[in-house]
Amino acid sequence: MIVTGTRTGIIAEKLGMSSLFSESGRLYPVTLLKIDNCQIISHRTVEKNGYNALVLGASNKKPSRESKAMKAMFAASKVEPKKYLKEFRISADSFLEVGSDVKVDHFRMGQFVDVQGISLGKGFAGGMKRHNFRGLEASHGVSVSHRSHGSTGGRQDPGRVFKNKKMAGHMGYEKVTMQNLEVIGVDVENSILLIKGGVPGHKGSIVYITDAVKKR
């Protein structure tokens, strides 16, 4: 069946980065993503839930570490308990059977994908690192506060700092989506997807891969 609408995504583990030579001899940085026992757990339908979606699970988990309610859900789907679950919105023509595997060949070489993950945490960062501020003058009376972000607002009016003002604070460890990344390798034997460039997250983190929205 040819799917013309929105397909399901896939859950993967970031193994790390490497490099790959193209046929023309050009060197590309690549990210290795491992797909581990990714299966369809359940359906969400317009009639019952108000929208169409598939619930996917990845990486098998010991049944003894699962709650009673979750054990019942996995038993109904006839699927082993999973460590990670994710719901992907799909179109009406993109449903897959409950219990079926979603393997690495779900994507093709040369295809563009969007990858979502949690970015690396950088801790507390100043305005120059966090928001790319230029900082204060290097001389002309400025001392001690060269890397400060300067004024944060007005005086008596408005008498406060507006919400969402760019200031120093916690940087990183937030949901990030990288768009239009190219698939430059599909290792079916080892269930590894090779993505051109970097993706959010640290080694061992979980990312979600979907067909690119802006590049079909």
Compute and round to an integer the Cα radius of gyration of the chain.
23
For residue 156, give the H/E element and its range: none
100 and 137, same domain (yes or no): no
Task: Report the CATH number at residue 19.
Answer: 2.40.30.10
51 and 36, same domain (yes or no): yes
Residue 51 lies in domain: 10-120+175-211
Number of structural domains (the chain) is 2
* Pairing state between β 10-21 and 27-34: antiparallel
Residue 155 lies in a domain: no
Do the Cβ atoms of 74 and 56 come closer than 8 Å? no
- 120-147 pLDDT, tens digit per residue, is 999 999 999 999 999 999 988 898 999 9
Tokens linked to 104: 């690495």
From residue 150, give the alpha-carbon distance in Å to each of 84, 128, 163: 44, 11, 16
Q: What are the pLDDT tens digits along the chain (216 aa)?
A: 444 579 999 999 999 999 999 888 999 999 999 999 999 999 999 999 999 999 999 999 888 888 888 888 888 888 889 999 999 999 998 899 998 999 999 999 999 999 999 999 999 999 999 999 999 999 888 989 999 999 998 889 899 999 999 999 999 999 999 999 999 999 999 999 999 999 999 999 999 999 999 987
Residue 48 lies in a domain: yes
181 and 168, same domain (yes or no): no
For residue 2, the model assigns a pLDDT of 46
For residue 15, the model assigns a pLDDT of 96
75 and 109, same domain (yes or no): yes
115 and 199, same domain (yes or no): yes
134 and 116, same domain (yes or no): no
38 and 144, same domain (yes or no): no
Residue 204 lies in a domain: yes
For residue 68, give the H/E element and its range: helix 68-77
113 and 49, same domain (yes or no): yes
Sheet holding 82-89, edge to edge: 39-44, 53-60, 82-89
Question: Could you report how far apart the first and last alpha carbons of the chain are, in Å?
Answer: 18
Tokens linked to 23: 């046929």
Residue 216 lies in a domain: no
41 and 133, same domain (yes or no): no
Do the Cβ atoms of 186 and 104 come closer than 8 Å? yes
For residue 140, the model assigns a pLDDT of 87
63 and 141, same domain (yes or no): no
55 and 102, same domain (yes or no): yes
Sign of the alpha-carbon dihedral angle for 93, 94, 99, 102: positive
What does the alpha-carbon distance between residue 138 and residue 131 come to, in Å, rounded to a whole number? 19
101 and 141, same domain (yes or no): no
